[in-house]
Structure 1
Amino acid sequence: MTGPRSAVVFNPVKVGDLEVLRRTVIEGLATAGWPEPSWHETSEDDAGRGQALQAIAEGAELIFACGGDGTVMAVVTALAGTDVALAVLPAGTGNLLAANLGLGTDAATGVEVAIEGGRKRIDVGVVGEQRFAVMAGMGFDAQMLEGTSDVAKKHIGWLAYVGGAAKHLLSNPMRVLIQLDGGQPLRRRPRSVIIGNVGRLQGGVRLLSEAHPDDGKLDVAILSPNNLGHWIAMGWAVLRRRDRVPRMETFTAQHVLIRSTRPQPRQLDGDLIDAGTNLEVTIQHQALLLCVPRPAGDPDLTYDVSVAEANADTIRTAVADNTA
């Protein structure tokens, strides 16, 4: 076996059939002459960071993250600033990083993407000791996540977030000061402030059309709808990909500080963190080495994954033959 040493960090709650996952990864790597990976299960106390650090200490050169957005974010936190590559094996509901960068929608494709050897360095956002690859937010977006049940996500997927959003459409706005790169604070009463490294939300909705994950900048959206009509107008403009979205301001910065008059719900990469009065975000430029499909597609890293998906059929066939 001549391939790189790898490890799988997986969330057993999100993985539907662990034995199928094991066979998919092992058979897929075997087709390329790679050795079997080590396996590291997440826990309630550690969503994946400690497991990824252990795998690195044991010599892993590539780590597969298999779980929801929280698992991926924990592994990103461990890998940022290293030369260890991340490969995503989608298993949760949101799968925000995979959806934004066209990494495929199933484990077999994720394995094939890693084997193909496409690698790209992308930026990560920094909040305290945590790193994120997609976006951070304070306000309505975190409220939506808070109001969405795991049961609903399991049964109807990303559509469950619609119910979570409906519960908070008419909640009170925040009172915040937003400081960009140390400049004059902006005084606003928004419903949500979203800080993006890439631009797509749950369900593939593209909120930040100019966001690129390797440009060294954070894209900031300040959403300030005051009634149902404002929400409808804003949503329609986003869906139609209009250049100007009513009730939404956008900025770019490398350092974003949001200060609220009272604690607000907060999220990183679609995963809730503790509520707080502040959210401070900086950028770590091209800190994460990510496995991406070949050939590369358009400039915003929405790769053409069709080749990997086609090649992944070989992996699926091998798994099916061994299962029969």
Structure 2
Amino acid sequence: MENRGDSDGTGGICSAVVVNPAKVTDLDGLRDTVTETLTAAGWAEPLWFETTVEDPGKGQTEEAIKAGAEVVFACGGDGTVLSCVNALVGTDVALAVLPSGTGNLLAANLGLSTDLATGLQVAIERGRRRLDVGDLEGQYFTVMAGMGFDAQMLDATNETTKKRIGWPAYVIGAAKHLRDRPMRVEIKIDDQPPVRRRARSVLVANVGRLQGGVRLLTEAEPDDGLLDVAVLTPNNLRHWLELGWAVLRRHERVPRMLTLRGKQVRIKARRNEPRELDGDLIEPGRTLNVKVRPESLWLCVPRPEESPDLSYDADAVAERGEEFVEKARRE
């Protein structure tokens, strides 16, 4: 771990960068760009922390909070972002995402893609929203938890292919499991009677976008105090194609998908199933018990508008960001 920067409060907003060096091809170039851009905006030189295999970001974020950081930049893949989130929940320190992995579920929901300039500009313009988070038995997430096909897809996706072609690599991973047998699951929402289904995947979401920015749950809002559940029930390839087409075309009704909503979601399968949190695999299990923690995380967003889509105005911010970074480099 490395800690460099101005933390004595001598000028500007204090921030920290928690970076996964394995996800960055030019670490020195990243440091120069971030430092030049933030100091040109009147911020203090940021603190720097590198993640390790033993600590993928939570400990470094806790150190940044203790050092007085007002904003923590998570620079890495989904695992880095998730680790930072688990240290920031319940604090007044804001999370900003500088995506450098290939999945980046939270970045996709912010409309950031892998653009460094946009991520920096979002933080500089100080658009903030307080978001709900999901709580899976003490592990927090911002986007979604899943059981079944989505976790199988992640496990089957080749890391080398992801680095070469980006998020379409997940399509290749998904194709390997389209014909797998379904799960038998019982889903209980709050105090309602349980729902039983033969499902291929169950997703418990706080926001609605998947890898590649595909919006699965159009009514999911990040700060409504509720979790949205998608139960996918395709039985064959034709069903998958119908479901995928309806999602891509943003149809109001998606075939082979049941949607539910509540504050607490309890899912029980008959056998151990693969599971994931925010695009990162976790231990397989028979249950997925999630509750919402309302307005528990400050997040830097393109604009603090009350819209279910966190990527609102992302394109305009990207243009301003590119201009600002170029100006900072010239100076």
Q: TM-score range by the shorter chain?
A: over 0.9
Which position in structure 1 is the counterpart of 2:140? 131
| Alignment equivalent of 1:27, drawn from 6, 29, 36 | 36
Question: Partner of 2:160 in structure 1?
Answer: 151
Alpha-carbon contact 1:42-1:51 (below 8 Å) kept:
yes
Q: Which runs of 4+ in 1 moved over 6 A?
A: none
**CA–CA separation in structure 1 for the residues paired with 2:283 and 2:308:** 35
Cross-structure match for 2:7: none
In structure 2, what is the equivalent of residue 284 of structure 1?
293
Equivalent positions of 1:249-260 (< 5 A) are 249-260=258-269
1:5 to 2:27 alignment: no
* Partner amino acid, structure 1, of 2:149: F
Matches within 5 A, 1:192-207: 192-207=201-216
Equivalent residue for 1:161? 170
State which of 29, 40, 60 in structure 1 corresponds to 2:49. Answer: 40
Aligned positions of 1:1-324 closer than 5 A: 1-103=10-112, 105-294=114-303, 296=305, 298-317=307-326, 321=330
Write the distance in 2 (CA, Å) between the matches of 1:320 and 1:4.
20
Structure-2-length-normalised TM-score? 0.93
CA contact (8 A) 1:297 1:304 kept: no
What SS is found at the alignment partner of 2:92? coil
- 8 Å contact kept, 1:224–1:248: yes
Change (3 A) 1:114 1:104: farther
Counterparts of 2:254 and 2:33 in 1: how far apart (Å)?
43
Secondary structure of 2:25's aligned partner: coil
More displaced 10-residue stretch of structure 1: 2-11 or 135-144: 2-11
Pairwise CA RMSD of aligned residues? 1.6
* C-alpha contact (below 8 Å) 2:16/2:72 kept by paired residues: yes
Amino acid paired to 1:131:
Y
* Identity across the alignment (%): 60
Structure 1, unmatched stretches of 5+, are: none
Separation of aligned partners in 1, 2:266 and 2:18: 32
User: Residues 287, 276 of structure 1: CA spacing in aligned structure 2 closer, same or farther, 3 A cutoff?
Assistant: same
| Amino acid of the structure 1 residue aligned with 2:196 | R
Report the AA paired with residue 42 of structure 1. T
Query: In structure 1, how many angstroms separate the alpha carbons of the residues matched to 2:86 and 2:150?
Result: 22
Task: Provide the secondary structure at the position in 1 that maps to 2:207.
Answer: coil
- Tell me if the contact between 2:14 and 2:68 (Cα under 8 Å) persists in the aligned partners: yes
Offset of 1:319 from its aligned partner? 6.4
Q: 1:104 to 1:159 in 2, by over 3 A?
A: closer
